[in-house]
Structure 1
Amino acid sequence: MAPNLAMDRKSTNGAEEEEDETETSFSTPLVANETHDNAVDIKPESSCRIGIQVFFPFIVAGFGTVGAGMVLDIVQHWPVFTEVSEIFILVPALLGLKGNLEMTLASRLSTQANLGILKTRKQMMRMISGNLVLVQAQALVVGFLAAIFAMVMGWIPQGKWNVQHGLLLCASSMLTASLASLVLGVLMICVVLCSKKLGINPDNVATPVAASLGDLTTLALLAALSKLVFMVVEAKHYWLAPLLMATLILLIPVFIYLAYKNEYVSEVVYTGWTPIIAAMAISCVGGLVLDMTVSDKKYHGMAVFQPVINGVGGNLVAVQASRLSTGLHSRASIGSLPADTPHICFNPLTFFCRKNMTSKTARVLLAMVIPGHLIFIYSIKFMKAGHTSITMNFVAIYCAAALLQVMVLLFICNFLVHWMWKMGDDPDNFAIPYLTALGDLLGTSLLALVFYTLYSIGDKDFDVGD
């Protein structure tokens, strides 16, 4: 057990407060904090309430990832994906935008809504406009860097350099990132505002809803736009891709300036780039694993499950991160942990068995993994999507991998959010990008291991010969 990270403080009556087992999420009583003037009394939630509020958007989000998987399973055979296989490297990075941008936006707005900051129409409009232009700037930068990374990682092993393919990757990636982030950003704002009006905790529903259409929308846009640009390039109209790139690149400083002038997001303009760029790089490594795996015909069946396992892991850990961040914002100032923060546990088994609010929430989220994946697996089977035989071996090994992925992510989340807060970084802006990117890398790697294991024991995809 590591030393207690909580700072020793005295209560308002001068007596020492006793450390309890209440975690920094929806808990009571709140610590009186003389350095935190905006402390808000957020009522505790039961496991049943958390489960009910999270489960429905979680299932809806899961079906969104199933749809994205079915799209990926189809488009992997399109000429643009076979001729420019580096697009597969883009897939986790662009799908990860919902974690880098939209889920981070949802977490920020949920915290502001729970703390009662978004009270007047003027405040809401300034917050909304500032976040939308910030997300656009971040999306364009991430889209451009992801395309550069995909080109480098795809071309180095081949020793080839195709300028037209590179322009296609950049134009498609940036345009997809911009359009998807605009649609999902508006959706997130509507979800948070409606949740508060209906008396629902937005921390429980906003991040899963961000993923409900996020993967499907982003993947469909990437496939359609890359196919369109590919057809134009094949027709020897080489001007389209560089024109799109130049236009989108010129818009980046405009969006950054507008965000800088907005008081609600001006600080994020300076501090918000490191996590999204680092997360993009981590997701691209997962994309490289996907590209190497689906390029082998033995593992074509992996494509339909890749968005599902990554999406489920990212959705659940984002709920945990958003709740933890709101709990910290409600009771302490950034850089100082509440006095009742328990010891940070470095034993995974102990962490999931504790009685505090964070461990209780983690158990509720973990309990959704296997039932959720069973629903998604048999939905894919019912719709006859993919190339994989749904055998008992497959279901058992796949569910074990999915459960391991979420356990690791929830355990890391608890440490990462508290550490970032202690270091003076707002987890609303920093934690979710890292967690969802790690979820993409871990999920894709574990899924590749699942298919490798199944093939090794003779449980092969039904369209692969011996």
Structure 2
Amino acid sequence: MRGEEVRQRRKEEQLGSEEQPLVREESPRQPAAGTVPWTSRERHPLDTAKPQEETALIIGLQVVIPFMLAGMGMTMAGMFLNYIQHWNVFVDIKELLTLVPSLVGLKGNLEMTLACRLSTAANTGIINDTQQKQKMISSNLALIQVQATVVGLLAAVVAILLEFISGQKVELSHIGVLCASSVLTAFMAALFLGIVMICVVLGAQKIRINPDNIATPIAAMLGDVVSLCILAGTSTILYRYIAKQSPSITEILKTGWFPIIIAMLISSLGGLIFNKTITQKKMIGMAVFTPLVNGVGGNLVSIQASRISTYLHSWSSPGVLPHNMRSFFPNPCHIFCSSDINSVSSRVLLFLVIPGHLVFLYIIYLIEGEDIKMHSLFVVFYLVAALSQVVILLYLAEMLVRVVWRQSQDPDSYSIPYLTGMGDLLGTSFLSLCFLFDSFFSDKMPMKNLNVVEPGLP
């Protein structure tokens, strides 16, 4: 009996060992050399990502209010720029006008990339841990302060060089005012708007709203006005008296300069166009409309780029594109007309352009009155220019985010600077063409056939 019990026990032990699956320990996947380790999660996002169904109605409801508020802020920025352009400091130091688009664009690049990184972290659950949240917030704030200070100085240098290239003489005292004003504006605006962005993303996470849909518009709502106010204040005061905590942040600090500097150069080209056209009689109103057109386009494309980036972070691995996003040059019909969630959001954003601009034009008309004349032909040209800008930017966003992701880089940090820079250049260029076409056809047609109307009623 004892021998039978021993044999039975051995059989049970053998059976138990056969039923246990072989467990193979795998080392965590390490990022390849040269890639951006933008998250510190031990597991891949695919392990914890949960599908979030967003209909066109939900996206529209979450986007429309921040979008309208952002447009209001840009409208106020345009009217404020139209007011301060006659201040002594802007009249005597013409280079400040060249600096405006690039400096305001810098604000957009830094704050919108910050908003995108935080939105992605919120949507993928990275900042649910308190310690990780504190580390990410502090390191990101330190990052944008360093970037703002350095690129603010570079923006002033580029503005000075562009004036030299165009044959203008720049006084030494003006160079000091320009550089100091640019650095102070970039630093102070980045600090204030960075804190606001952190509060917005954390607040949106608590009330269960997708931060991708609201963070960048709120940055746009405050950013232009804040940057212009600080620039005007610091430059006026100076003119009167002078006449590494996170590995991902460390990597961005090393490699994240190139897209921001290139975007600053692109925006500076738009600033040069703005400076050359603002003084022409047939371009009256350029100062009012430039921040609005550039801001709305950059705002909408930043929302789309942030959403695509979050989609890739949640459903794919760095360097690997999903099956439906393999092409670097996607069909425009797929981007704007398919049932894909990114296509739905692009249609929602595109449908906001015309009604949004009509509202903003009407506000400008009510406040400025006869100082800026707007007739039906100009409104048509203006809407065509604004719509064309956003269509091009949305297509570029889809293409650029795919390329950046395929290179194992973080789209939150690398794609938006290029897109906002292109938005500034396209917006300023299209707006200049809008004024030129309006002037040309106004000369060919009797003014009585061009009834001056309220912008909301072309």
Q: TM-score range by the shorter chain?
A: 0.7 to 0.9
Indicate yes or no: 2:400 matched with 1:391: no
- What residue number does 2:157 align with? 148
- Counterpart Cα distance in 2 of 1:35 and 1:136: 30
- Counterpart Cα distance in 2 of 1:211 and 1:403: 18
Show CA shifts across 1:3-47 (max 9, x none).
Answer: xxxxxxxxxxxxxxxxxxxxxxxxxxxxxxx97654502312100
Selected match of 2:87 from 78, 101, 124: 78
Selected match of 1:440 from 424, 428, 435: 424
Show CA shifts across 1:50-90 (max 9, x none).
Answer: 00000000000100000100110001111111111111111
- Counterpart Cα distance in 2 of 1:45 and 1:451: 40
Is the Cα contact below 8 Å between 1:64 and 1:215 reproduced in 2? yes
Show CA shifts across 1:346-400 (max 9, x none).
Answer: 4434532222222211111000000000000000001126842121111111001
Distance 1:145 1:451, change over 3 A: same
The one-letter code sitting in structure 1 at the alignment partner of 2:195 is V
- RMSD of Structure 2 on Structure 1 (CA): 1.9
- What residue number does 2:216 align with? 207
- Counterpart Cα distance in 2 of 1:433 and 1:74: 28
TM superposition shift of 1:424? 1.2
Worse-superposed segment, 335-344 or 108-117: 335-344
TM superposition shift of 1:345? 5.0
Indicate yes or no: 2:347 matched with 1:363: yes
TM superposition shift of 1:327? 0.5
- What residue number does 1:245 align with? none
TM superposition shift of 1:333? 1.5
Alignment of 1:234-245 (within 5 A): 234=243
Is the Cα contact below 8 Å between 1:35 and 1:332 reproduced in 2? no
TM superposition shift of 1:264? 4.5
- Counterpart Cα distance in 2 of 1:60 and 1:178: 24
The one-letter code sitting in structure 2 at the alignment partner of 1:222 is L
Selected match of 1:182 from 178, 184, 191: 191
- Counterpart Cα distance in 2 of 1:406 and 1:180: 26
In structure 1, the gaps of 5 or more residues are: 1-33, 235-259
- What residue number does 1:354 align with? 338
- Counterpart Cα distance in 2 of 1:146 and 1:38: 43
TM superposition shift of 1:125? 1.4
Distance 1:345 1:361, change over 3 A: farther
- What residue number does 1:20 align with? none
- What residue number does 2:391 align with? 407
Is the Cα contact below 8 Å between 2:82 and 2:288 reproduced in 1? yes
Worse-superposed segment, 213-222 or 356-365: 356-365
- Counterpart Cα distance in 1 of 2:47 and 2:230: 42
- Counterpart Cα distance in 2 of 1:182 and 1:111: 21
Show CA shifts across 1:242-290 (max 9, x none).
Answer: xxxxxxxxxxxxxxxxxx3433411111121111111111111100000
Is the Cα contact below 8 Å between 2:153 and 2:179 reproduced in 1? yes
TM superposition shift of 1:107? 0.2
In structure 2, the gaps of 5 or more residues are: 1-42, 453-458
TM-score for the superposition, normalised by structure 1: 0.83
- Counterpart Cα distance in 1 of 2:329 and 2:175: 46
Selected match of 2:279 from 291, 295, 316: 295
- Counterpart Cα distance in 1 of 2:142 and 2:91: 35
**Between structures 1 and 2, the one with greater helix share:** 2
- What residue number does 1:379 align with? 363
Distance 1:342 1:361, change over 3 A: farther
- Counterpart Cα distance in 2 of 1:359 and 1:458: 39
- What residue number does 1:56 align with? 65
Is the Cα contact below 8 Å between 1:176 and 1:221 reproduced in 2? yes
- What residue number does 2:227 align with? 218
Indicate yes or no: 2:288 matched with 1:279: no
Distance 1:386 1:426, change over 3 A: farther
- What residue number does 1:263 align with? 247
Q: Report how many aligned residue pairs link the two structures.
A: 404
Distance 1:266 1:41, change over 3 A: same
Q: Which has the higher contact order (CA 8 A, sep 6+)?
A: 1
- What residue number does 2:440 align with? 456
- Counterpart Cα distance in 2 of 1:152 and 1:278: 15
- Counterpart Cα distance in 2 of 1:303 and 1:369: 20
Distance 1:456 1:323, change over 3 A: same
- What residue number does 1:130 align with? 139
- What residue number does 1:118 align with? 127
Over the matched positions of the two proteins, sequence identity in percent amounts to 48
Worse-superposed segment, 292-301 or 401-410: 292-301
- Counterpart Cα distance in 2 of 1:36 and 1:340: 19
The one-letter code sitting in structure 1 at the alignment partner of 2:87 is W
- Counterpart Cα distance in 2 of 1:171 and 1:82: 18
- Counterpart Cα distance in 2 of 1:437 and 1:364: 23
